[in-house]
Amino acid sequence: MSRYSASEIEAKWQEAWEKAGIFTARQSGDRPKYYVLEMFPYPSGRIHMGHVRNYTMGDVIARYKIATGHNVLHPMGWDAFGMPAENAAMAIGGHPKDWTYANIADMRGQMKPLGLSIDWSREFATCDPEYYGQQQALFLDMLKAGLVYRKNAVVNWDPVDMTVLANEQVEGGRGWRSGALVERRELTQWFFNISSMSEELLSALDGLENWPAKVRLMQENWIGKSRGLQFGFERSDGAQAIDVYTTRPDTLMGASFVGISPDHPIAKALAVDNPDVVAFIAECNKVGTTEEAVETAEKLGLDTGLTVKHPLNPDMELPVWIANFILMDYGTGAIFGCPAHDQRDLDFCRKYDLPVIDTFVALEDPKPVENEAFVPPKTDRVQWIDHFAGLDIATGQEAIDTTIAYAEKAGWGTGVTKFRLRDWGLSRQRYWGCPIPVVHCDDCGVVPEKKENLPVRLPDDVTFDKPGNPLDRHPTWRDVTCPSCGKPARRETDTMDTFVDSSWYFARFTAPHADTPTDMDAASYWMNVDQYIGGVEHAILHRLYSRFFARAMNITGHLPAKAIEPFEALFTQGMVTHAIYSTFDGEEFSAKERKELGVPDNWGAYKAEYLFPEQVEQREDGYFIKGTNRRAVVTPSAKMSKSKKNVVDPVSIISAYGADTARWFVLSDSPPERDVEWTASGAEAAFKHLNRVWLMSERIAEMDPDAKGQGDEELLRAMHKAIHDVTQGVESFGFNAAIAKLYAFTNLLGKSKASKATQQNAIRTLAQLMAPVVPHLAEDIWARQGGEGLIATAPWPQADESLLIDDNVTMPIQINGKRRAEISVPREMERAEVEKIALKVDAVQKALNGGVPKKVIVVPGRIVNVVV
């Protein structure tokens, strides 16, 4: 008997697969194709357990599809542009390009030992000029097709560093490096016209049957289609009316003010000669640009002194307020406030002492609004107090429809459909991104670069010792001649949002070396992605942008019409988490930190210093720092992060146990869509189990082939049950359940006394069923047990239906829904017959106590319920 040596067999089989070239994607008509894609990683330099889990899931699918006779495309690449490379250049010197490519080399080196079935010949990084040059070509085609345009938009501006900040670089309204108060600044920027496709992107969601319902719902809400009324409030001073948009026009009688955004043209006009307005707008601009910041900030308002006339009651005048919670981007940037039926408006009115007017009340409890707005579902029927269109009792929805019709007929308003989805701003004032291929000419305006001049390459000779975009202060790169008139001109110095890079990489994988963005022949063959796997954190933006891009690429002739929904099926996997260990020496905890860390009240008042798991040991009365009497806190699991010292490095796990153990563990303990907690004992257990399987194989190999066995039939049945269950598990992404079935079958096989032939058949089948998860171990067992060729390409085992069904079935007997007994009956037995037997059971007789049952429910093959 030999021992299980993961490092030995893993290297051996990886070499064998590479030599046989079995993972090179082949385009041929004789087999169905299957395209499996895991979201490509950002090259941070280290792979983490989340990657291992994500790629193992994809690998299981890919290997299963190879075994079931498909041409499989399973590529890998690098989402390589972005801020971390520039941050690294600023922090430690060097060039983003060198940093990025070195990281890619490191990560590829860490990934290869995992034994993934990836076609590495298709690998690319988005920062390769060959890739971003094609992206520039796409941009030019989209520009021509009217899918890209320029307009002004607001950015976070750091006045000290003189640079644009990303939202994550703004902390508490201040720049993360300079600490300066961040200002809003308007710049002319490029936009993709994604909102022109709002309706299409929304309605096509219905066809995405193999996407998680929650993701479709999130996208639906994000696109945010609404039907409402748009109308003007006449200004008392006779100036141009203020247009408002509302989804609740039925509450118009309850209006107590008109609110406009601080960015509204009227607010800007007032600011010209009104210092109060200037100050108030400045105050509003201190709040960040994110929707979250705007929505959670304290509600502030300023009375402009202007008034408007109520459209239904000309005698009534409403004040016009500037309010910080009104977004210029949505609707018309102006609203009417109806405090009785909107909590935000109510808080605002109570704060500024504006009137609260009820327009409808609950049927059963008709009381006026106090400090809680009355906002029933639109489907609830309510009592109207004074509805101008004559409603008495009606639902909110009926009232909305009636009001829109009434306003349109009377001519003072229009029913309008609006979308929340905004156009996608793609300009970034940064170096490490895909250059936008246009030139600005004083005479010709914005001139697209000629396609034969692509790629517009990033210059290498840049430094990051000064704030701002290096492209902006690089004269020889920036200053060019106009492609149209030949006069001196300037290159666009903005680069593209990295979401652009990831919005079409899946298409590029079908022909990664083509000298056009895609190759129609290859794209037609491989698209769509049959299974896409990635985190739920990308549920909206990345996947919505990709859907937009696929449509844009179809319009510009780069993808076939069938590929406008590029991801046939989507799976969103959970994170890998790990417990966090810490001390409490050092600074004091804040109350918030206590809550966040779950620090018990009696544990002293000192701030945690995070500890690596191996610094901590468990004793009878709790956790301690190894070899000391200092206590440690163990907080429940959280996403692995360097700063919390709870990262488990896949490289060290692979060197300790092997890739198969890591792969087995990340799939075994939790359902794939949920987070999995990494535990040392769990990893250890996975390793032990693989050892057991190995030893079992050795034992079977050494059995006497002529010895008589017993229980062959039972083992055979269990084997076919395992084939059936594991196949189902893999097909339905129930990897943890499939692994549980593999455990059960392995335990059974371990105890089996069946003949050698049957056991050998069983262990070979077990190896095949395990192969997608632990391909190296499976390959080795397969070879030792006389399997033909590579297990990686061997056809997937088929379950024999006739061996799956037992003749007898155990049926639980319930009395009033509680299990009280069970009977064993032939599977095909008639209902009446089953009922007769069930009624004779002691427990039933006792419960009936001589009487007759009220009702007997017999679910054939399942359960009997006797109601007494």
Chain positions 334 to 353 lying near RNA, rule: CB under 7 A, are 343-344
Q: Which is nearer to RNA, 804 or 867 (CB)?
A: 867
Map the footprint of RNA across residues 127-156, applying CB under 7 A: 153, 155-156
Sign of the CA dihedral 35, 40, 45, 51? Answer: negative
* CA 95 to chain centroid: 31
Examine residue 54 and say whether the peptide bond preceding it is cis (omega within 30 degrees of 0). no
- Whole-angstrom Cα distance, residue 309 to residue 300? 23
Q: Tell me the residue ranges of DSSP E strands in 633-722.
A: 633-639, 676-677
Residue 356 CA to residue 498 CA, distance in Å, equals 47
Bridge partners (DSSP) of residue 413 are 231
Q: Provide the 8-state DSSP code for 529.
A: B
What's the min distance (Å) between Cβ of 635 and RNA? 10
Q: Say whether residue 225 binds RNA (CB under 7 A).
A: no
- What is the closest distance, in whole angstroms, from the C-beta atom of residue 617 to RNA in the complex? 12
Which DSSP string corresponds to 91-128? HH-S-HHHHHHHHHHHHHHHHGGG-----GGG--BTTS
Question: Residue 247 interacts with RNA (CB under 7 A)?
Answer: no
Coil vs helix vs strand at 734:
coil
> Among 11-19, 491-499, 759-767, 793-801, which window interacts with RNA (CB under 7 A)?
491-499
Residue placing its CB nearer to RNA in the complex, 556 or 670:
670
Q: Which of 258, 284, 226 is nearest to 419 (CA)?
A: 226
Could you tell me whether strands 413-418 and 226-233 are parallel, antiparallel, or unpaired per DSSP bridges? Answer: antiparallel
351 to 410, contacts with RNA by CB under 7 A?
A: none
635-674 core/surface letters (b: 16 or more CB in 10 A; e: else): bebbebeeebbbbbebeebbeebbbbbbbbbbbbbbebee
- Helix ranges (H only) for 732-794 are 735-751, 756-770, 775-784
What sign results for the dihedral spanned by CA atoms 727, 728, 730, 731?
positive
Which of 221, 236, 414, 808 is the binder for RNA (CB under 7 A)?
221
Q: Binding to RNA by residue 222, rule CB under 7 A?
A: yes
Dist CA 689 CA 692 (whole Å) = 5
Name the minimum Å distance from CB 748 to RNA. 9
Strands 33-38 and 531-535: parallel
DSSP 3-state of 28: coil
172 binds RNA (CB under 7 A): no
Instruction: Kindly state the DSSP code that residue 412 receives in the 8-state scheme.
Output: S
What's the CA gap between 515 and 705, in Å, rounded?
Answer: 60
Q: x/- string (CB under 7 A) for RNA, residues 751-790?
A: x---------------------------------------
Residue 552 structure tokens? 């844009």
Residues 189-218 that bind RNA (CB under 7 A): 189, 213-214, 217-218
CB of 348 to RNA, least distance (A): 13
Q: Does 743 bind RNA (CB under 7 A)?
A: yes
Of the ranges 132-140, 159-167, 623-631, 653-661, which one interacts with RNA (CB under 7 A)? Answer: 159-167
Among 738, 760, 511, CA closest to 56: 738
Rounded CA-CA distance 399/252 in Å is 11
For residue 291, the minimal CB distance to RNA (Å) is: 4
- Among 389, 540, 634, 823, which residue interacts with RNA (rule: CB under 7 A)? 540
Retrieve residue 618's tokens. 């468990």
Q: Which of 555, 703, 744, 829 binds RNA (CB under 7 A)?
A: 744
Q: How far is the CB of 756 from RNA (least distance, A)?
A: 20
Report the residue number, 256 or 865, with the smaller CB distance to RNA: 865
Which tokens in the block code for residue 489? 């001109």
Is 159 a binding residue for RNA by CB under 7 A? The answer is no
Which of 105/217 has CB closer to RNA?
Answer: 217
Binders in 266-295 for RNA, by CB under 7 A: 289-292, 295
Alpha-carbon gap, residue 728 to 644, rounded angstroms: 38
Closest separation in Å from C-beta 469 to RNA: 11
Check binding of 594 to RNA (CB under 7 A): no
Q: Which of positions 834-863 make contact with RNA (CB under 7 A)?
A: 843, 855, 857, 859, 862-863
Window of 175-183, 270-278, 665-673, 774-782 that interacts with RNA by CB under 7 A: 665-673
What string marks each residue from 60 to 99 as x (binds RNA by CB under 7 A) or -?
Answer: -------------------x-xxxx---------------
CB under 7 A: which stretch of 165-173, 260-268, 271-279, 711-719 binds RNA? 165-173
688 is a site residue for RNA (CB under 7 A): yes
From residue 789 to residue 828, the character string flagging contacts with RNA as x (rule: CB under 7 A) and all else as - is ---------------------x-x-x-xxxxx-x------
**Helices and strands in the chain, H and E counts:** 27, 36
Place of tokens 């455990």: 743
Taking CB under 7 A as the criterion, which residues in 421-440 touch RNA? 421-422, 424-425, 427-429
Complex with RNA: residue 169 or 403, whichever CB lies closer: 169
Binding residue for RNA, selected from 88, 116, 164, 489, defined by CB under 7 A: 164
**Would you say 360 or 548 has its CB closer to RNA?**
548
Kindly tell me which of 491 and 538 has the beta carbon lying closer to RNA: 538
Instruction: Give the one residue of 12, 46, 235, 542 binding RNA; rule: CB under 7 A.
Output: 542
Judged by phi (left if over 0) then psi (alpha if -120 to 50, else beta), residue 710 lies in: beta
Among 232, 483, 671, 711, binds RNA (CB under 7 A): 671
Residue 90's Cβ-side half-sphere holds a number of Cα atoms within 13 Å equal to: 16
Closest separation in Å from C-beta 485 to RNA: 29
Number of residues that bind RNA (CB under 7 A): 97
Question: Could you tell me which stretch among 23-31, 238-246, 453-461, 735-743 binds RNA (CB under 7 A)?
Answer: 735-743
Q: Does 46 bind RNA (CB under 7 A)?
A: no
SS3 453: helix
N- to C-terminal Cα separation, the chain: 62
- What part of residues 1-30 is at the interface with RNA (CB under 7 A)? none
The answer to whether the CB of 593 falls within 8 A of the CB of 633 is: no
CA distances from 427 to 43, 170, 538 (A): 22, 18, 20
**Distances, alpha carbon 780 to alpha carbons 100, 386, 787, in Å:** 37, 81, 10
Question: Are residues 333 and 258 in contact, defined by beta-carbon separation less than 8 angstroms?
Answer: no
CA-wise closest residue to 354 among 391, 303, 423 = 303
Q: Which of residues 290-329 bind RNA (CB under 7 A)?
A: 290-292, 295-296
538 touches RNA (CB under 7 A):
yes
**Beta carbon nearer to RNA, 305 or 622:** 622
CB of residue 377 vs RNA: minimum separation in angstroms? 7
Nearer to RNA, 515 or 537 (CB): 537
Give min distance, CB of 247 to RNA, in A.
12
Contact status: 420 vs RNA (CB under 7 A):
yes
Q: Find the part of the chain contacting RNA (CB under 7 A) among 173-181, 406-414, 686-694, 712-720.
A: 686-694
Nearer residue to RNA within complex by CB, 674 or 831: 674
Least distance in angstroms from the C-beta of 124 to RNA = 14
Contact set for RNA, span 612-641 (CB under 7 A): 638-639
CB 226 within 8 A of CB 247: yes
Residue type, 653: I
Choose among 313, 335, 314: nearest CA to 323. Answer: 335
